[in-house]
Amino acid sequence: MSDDPKLTAQRRDSLGSSVSRRMRKAGQIPGSIYGHKQEAISFAVSADDLNPIIASGHKVVDFEIDGSVDKALIQDVQWNTFSTYVQHVDLLRVDANERVSTSVEIVVRGISPGVLAGGILEQIHHELPIECPVIRLPEQIVIRVTDLKMGGAIHVSDIPLPTDCTTTLPPEEVVVHVVEPRKAPEPDENEIASSAEPEVVGAKEEDSEE
């Protein structure tokens, strides 16, 4: 039995923005599933079923439609402007041992000694693009910063990835670092005087032509 959550959907034949809007009002979320060179299917799924799965960080679901169950990767989730509800979901058909490319959330845990010394913990990347088999896809990647001192950094190469997982980011890329707080530079008097009005592109050429 798979650990992946089950998502049951109904096939939908009526497409378009107005139908989708009415569907969302009725508590359904429109979506589509594609991949494996099979036909793309438009479906509707209950918001009460889908939202907990998205909130839990699961990327792979057991997708049931018309009585058949497929493994599917949550490929894309569209939110409304204020990120209050899901507008549409894209699923990709996958096999259990197939390698997929997706992004996994990076979660920073612990209190860094550098922060206690007055530094600022800056997280450069909040998601890590990874490529791995579907069955090994992690929900999140946890980075512990309990040993991170002032000026120290955790690079992509320092992140422990599950077996068979690779990332497309270069290994020397900084993910999290602790930096000293910087003071804002004082504005230069000459700069203030010279920048009362911005330079107009092509203004001199026009004057010379005249």
Q: Which of 17, 18, 83, 146 binds other proteins (CB under 8 A)?
A: 83
Q: Which one among 38, 166, 168, 195 touches other proteins, defined by CB under 8 A? A: 195
Interface with other proteins, residue 200, by CB under 8 A: yes
Rounded to whole angstroms, how far apart are CA atoms 28 and 198? 51
Judged by CB under 8 A, which of 19, 41, 47, 54 binds other proteins?
54
Contact (CB, 8 A) for 12 and 88: no
Q: How far apart are CA 79 and CA 55, in angstroms?
A: 13
Q: What is the Cβ-side half-sphere exposure of residue 85, based on CA atoms within 13 angstroms?
A: 11
Q: Which residues ranging from 97 to 116 are in contact with other proteins (CB under 8 A)?
A: 105, 115
Q: Looking at 199, 207, 209, 210, which residue binds other proteins (CB under 8 A)?
A: 199
Restricting to residues 108-167, name those near other proteins by CB under 8 A.
115, 118, 120-123, 126, 140
* Cα torsion 68, 70, 74, 76: sign: negative
Structure tokens at 45: 């799924």
**Closest Cα to residue 73, out of 88, 48, 90?**
90
Q: Binding of other proteins at residue 57 (CB under 8 A)?
A: yes
The answer to whether residue 18 forms part of the interface with other proteins (CB under 8 A) is no
Residue span binding other proteins (CB under 8 A) among the ranges 20-28, 41-49, 159-167, 199-207: 199-207
Secondary structure (3-state) at 68: strand
Amino acid identity of residue 79, one-letter, is: W
Query: What are the residues binding other proteins (CB under 8 A)?
Result: 54-57, 77, 79, 81-83, 105, 115, 118, 120-123, 126, 140, 181, 184, 187, 192, 195, 197-202
